[in-house]
Chains A and B, each alone.
Chain A
Amino acid sequence: MTKKDETVNPVSKDNMERLDILIDELKGIFSNIKAHEIMNTSVVVIMPDRTLYQAKELMRLRKISGLPVCDENGMLVGIVSIEDIIKALENNYINDKIERWMTKNVVWISEDEELIDIVEKFSRYGFGRFPVLNTETHRVIGIITKADILSTILNKLKNLYVRDQRMTNVLENTDLHSISLITGEKLDKSGADFYFEINYTDINMAGVGAAKLREFLLSKGFNEELVRRVAIATYEAETNVVIHSESIGKIYCFIRDDFIKVRVEDYGKGIENLELAMQEGFSTAPDYIREFGFGAGMGLVNMKRCSDKIVVVSEVGKGVIVEMLFNIKTGREET
């Protein structure tokens, strides 16, 4: 049996250039944002007499990648990051006190520093985070990561209502949301035999939709091996939505005479480089996700392996559509 795979990445170079121009224009609007508007104020700090092991646990539980170290008066004395923890684990001093190994010359940001200068600091030092200090008391009042900068900018953008021809997205234009990527037929989603909304963000819940689809298909009398393939591929697509998209997603299943079609859509951040994403072992999953055993870079590979035909369409910032066909009659030989 032959299997054909296609990847489509409809971001043209032209579009990218126009986006660059737009970003330049927007820069002016963002120039007077101050550190205290960007920072995350619920900053987690740790005392220097705690151990690196405790720091590691704190980072794991709070899902953060660095901790400012403060003395009992709230004065900044150092910083520990994931890198420090990794080194400590490698060299077996994870039970040492933080003060021995923390970075003592901390580069910090004062609360009224401007966005442009902050961005400059990120690129100059290459650090993942900067503590924000009150200008007078020198106490830690917040922390800024790249993600904080991004979300500040996005929030500003929301208020701006930018409607620019340059921003119209390819996915909307070609209306891929209402045609089948594989067969090209018009898709009546209300006629789906199965529908599930991925509306949760808790990674622990991942797979609920796939499990429901599995039960549904078994109840329809499909053979176990076929259902297994559908369930695995759907599970992978579903966890991708939960881990990566930062949006809700939808699972549709259409049952036809000779195939089952599963379509998983999300409206999130999209895939930057589809070719790379399709490669076995490639993953952009964050550390805490990997700790759970996800992020092996096998998701799309597994989907491809389990389905008889797969098409993935994505654009950065617009979401991902995965459509998969599973042949009913032929089944598939074990490879």
Chain B
Amino acid sequence: MKLSEIIEKLNLDVVVANELDDVDVVNGYTCDLLSEVMANCKKGTAWITVQSHLNIVAVATICGVSCIILANDHDYPQETIQKAEKEGVVLLKSKLNSYTISGELYKLGIK
């Protein structure tokens, strides 16, 4: 499924977009421990987390995740946003909690 479709259906706020390339989202992963994320995320994963500090961008780049979805209405610090812009990592956010976002994604067929 295309990322743009997910953003629309889940009503996600786009903090950092990647306008050039509407990437594919193949699966999802929900976790706040970076090592676990790196061990389990694949290329094309939508990563749902409550972590917002700078290092999530490094993790996302290394794993090649499609996007980061920040749950619970948390905000990204400015330096995270700047780094994501530089690295081309898509940052999204939602008022819903991690569990609910995961469930909604699952309903859309992202497994």
A residues lining the B interface (CB < 8 Å): 203-208, 210-211, 214, 224, 228, 231-232, 235-236, 292-294, 296-299, 301-302, 305
Contacts and interface: CB of A to CB of B under 8 A. Distances in A.
B64 A224 contact: yes
B31 to A, nearest CB: 8
A262 to B, nearest CB: 14
B58 A296 contact: no
Interface stretch (B7-15, B21-29, B34-42, B68-76): B34-42
A204 B53 contact: yes
Interface of B: 32-36, 38-39, 43, 49, 51, 53-56, 58-59, 61-64, 79, 87
29 contacts: A203-B55, A204-B79, A206-B58, A207-B55, A207-B59, A211-B87, A214-B61, A214-B62, A224-B64, A228-B63, A228-B64, A232-B38, A232-B63, A235-B38, A235-B62, A236-B35, A236-B38, A292-B51, A292-B55, A293-B56, A294-B34, A296-B33, A296-B34, A296-B36, A297-B35, A298-B35, A298-B36, A298-B39, A302-B39
The 3 closest A-B pairs by CB, nearest first: A207-B58, A298-B35, A296-B33
Contacts of A205: 54
A305 B43 contact: no
Prevailing SS type, chain A contact patch: helix
Prevailing SS type, chain B contact patch: helix
Contacts of A297: 35
Nearest to A303: B35
Contacts of B87: 211
A236 B35 CA distance: 8
A296 B51 CA distance: 14
A210 B35 CA distance: 14
Given A203-B55, A235-B59, 15 more contacts: A207-B62, A211-B87, A228-B43, A228-B64, A235-B62, A292-B34, A292-B55, A293-B33, A293-B34, A293-B53, A293-B55, A294-B55, A298-B39, A302-B38, A305-B39
A204 B55 contact: yes
Q: Of residues A224, A236, A292, A302, which shows the largest number of chain B Cβ atoms within 10 Å of its Cβ?
A: A292
B29 to A, nearest CB: 13
Contacts of A231: 62
Given A236-B35, A293-B34, A298-B35, A228 B62 contact: yes
Given A204-B53, A224-B64, A228-B63, A294 B58 contact: no
A224 B34 contact: no
Nearest to B51: A293
A152 B101 CA distance: 50
Contacts of B33: 293-294, 296, 298
Given A293-B32, A298-B36, A204 B64 contact: no
Nearest to A298: B35
Contacts of A232: 38-39, 62-63
Nearest to A299: B35
Contacts of A305: 39
Contact of A210 (B43, B53, B58, B64): B58
B54 to A, nearest CB: 4
A305 B87 CA distance: 26
Contacts of A293: 32-34, 49, 51, 53, 55-56
B51 A302 contact: no
B78 to A, nearest CB: 12
A208 B83 CA distance: 11
Nearest to A296: B33
